[in-house]
Amino acid sequence: MDECYVLGIDTSNYTTSVCVLDGSGAVRFDGRLLLDVKRGERGLRQSEALFQHVRHLPELAEEMARKGVDLKKTAAVAASVRPRPAPDSYMPVFLAGEGLGRSLAAGLQVPFYAVSHQEGHLAAAEADVGDVPAASFLAAHVSGGTTDILRVERKPGGYRIDTLGQSMDLHAGQLIDRVGVALGLPFPAGPALERLAQSLAGGDSGGIALPVFVRGCSISFSGPQTRALRWIADGASPAQVAMAVQRCVARALEKALLHALAEHEERHILMVGGVASNAWIRHRLTHRLSHPAVGAVLHWAGPEYSRDNARGVARLGLAAFREELNSV
């Protein structure tokens, strides 16, 4: 089985991703192309993003061929077809990956497995750092399109996910991107905002603070955005505003996760999503939540597999394919 391939495709809001795993789970190809957002813009319309995915997917297929990946060895294809594993979860951008995936599977006469973008994030993180050593665990999926606190249970071929809380308005990544663009940073603004905050000597936000609104495991970031934009309009230091944004996101996640820990017996927390690649936020949450008084164990994928990718999608496809083989 090691000589066969499983192809994974993910077409999210801002990244076109393709990954190929062999039968042992080893990565044979991992390609990603960021969607182009014009300077000063705060995102893309779904139609624009879908159009860019349609252009990017052939480029990634050609790159696979140049690197010697023989798709005739493909035993299964998987693609993310929705944001979350829920019947009413829908976003047009995922039609690009689903359409190509279904077409390839039909042409090659191999199984096609539909998964969610969120499940792909969880699987990619576990592929990177090792499976969380528990049958069930907590997770935080924090990005430009999601701010979810989750309880996750393993099931054959994937996960069963219960949403404990989510954003009440803006997502954490949206707060970072909107404030970052207002500061003149490129979109998506996460990496540039993190570098700007790092330029601040001692990490002191100089009295600039943003409010934190958390109800149970759900978070509101609209108030912090309003306050941050006001600080910028009043001429506050960009580096201090950037640090205040990081601090606000970390404090909000800490409060929401503390509530989840108080309500549930799980102590392992898997952190996924683009915002989880921020080093300052990672350090702050690890320091606060792994304290003996709290007793949580945080699991962080490397930045490469915190951000959008297709490795988790391919891993879920491989798990489903193995499950199908074993049931015959």
- Residue 2 — pLDDT band, cuts 50, 70, 90? low
Q: Are residues 32 and 62 in the same domain?
A: yes
CA 132 from chain center: how many Å?
A: 17
Q: Are residues 226 and 247 in the same domain?
A: yes
Q: Are residues 145 and 36 in the same domain?
A: no
Is the pLDDT reported for residue 301 higher than 80? yes
What percentage of the chain reaches a pLDDT higher than 90? 93
Q: Is the pTM of this model over 0.85?
A: yes
| Whole-number pLDDT of residue 156 | 87
> CB-based contacts of 285: which residues, under 8 Å, 6+ apart?
250, 253, 254, 257, 271, 298
Instruction: Give percent helix, percent strand, percent coil of the chain, each to the nearest 5.
Output: 45, 25, 30
> CB-based contacts of 153: which residues, under 8 Å, 6+ apart?
135, 136, 159, 160, 161, 162
Q: Where are the beta strands (DSSP E) in 86-135?
A: 112-116
| Whole-number pLDDT of residue 95 | 98
Q: Are residues 206 and 152 in the same domain?
A: yes
Q: Are residues 101 and 151 in the same domain?
A: no
| Whole-number pLDDT of residue 1 | 65
**Domain count of the fold of the chain:** 2
| Whole-number pLDDT of residue 18 | 98
The domain containing residue 277 runs over which residues?
Answer: 136-303
Q: Are residues 257 and 175 in the same domain?
A: yes
Q: Are residues 113 and 245 in the same domain?
A: no
| Whole-number pLDDT of residue 168 | 98
**Dihedral of alpha carbons 274, 275, 276, 280, sign:** positive
Joined tokens for residue 185: 């940073």
Q: Are residues 116 and 193 in the same domain?
A: no
Rounded mean pLDDT, 68-79: 96
Is the pLDDT reported for residue 10 higher than 80? yes
Domain with residue 251: its CATH number is 3.30.420.40
The number of residues making up the chain comes to 328
Joined tokens for residue 222: 């609209």
Q: Are residues 189 and 260 in the same domain?
A: yes
Q: Are residues 157 and 290 in the same domain?
A: yes
Q: Are residues 183 and 283 in the same domain?
A: yes
Rounded mean pLDDT, 49-69: 97
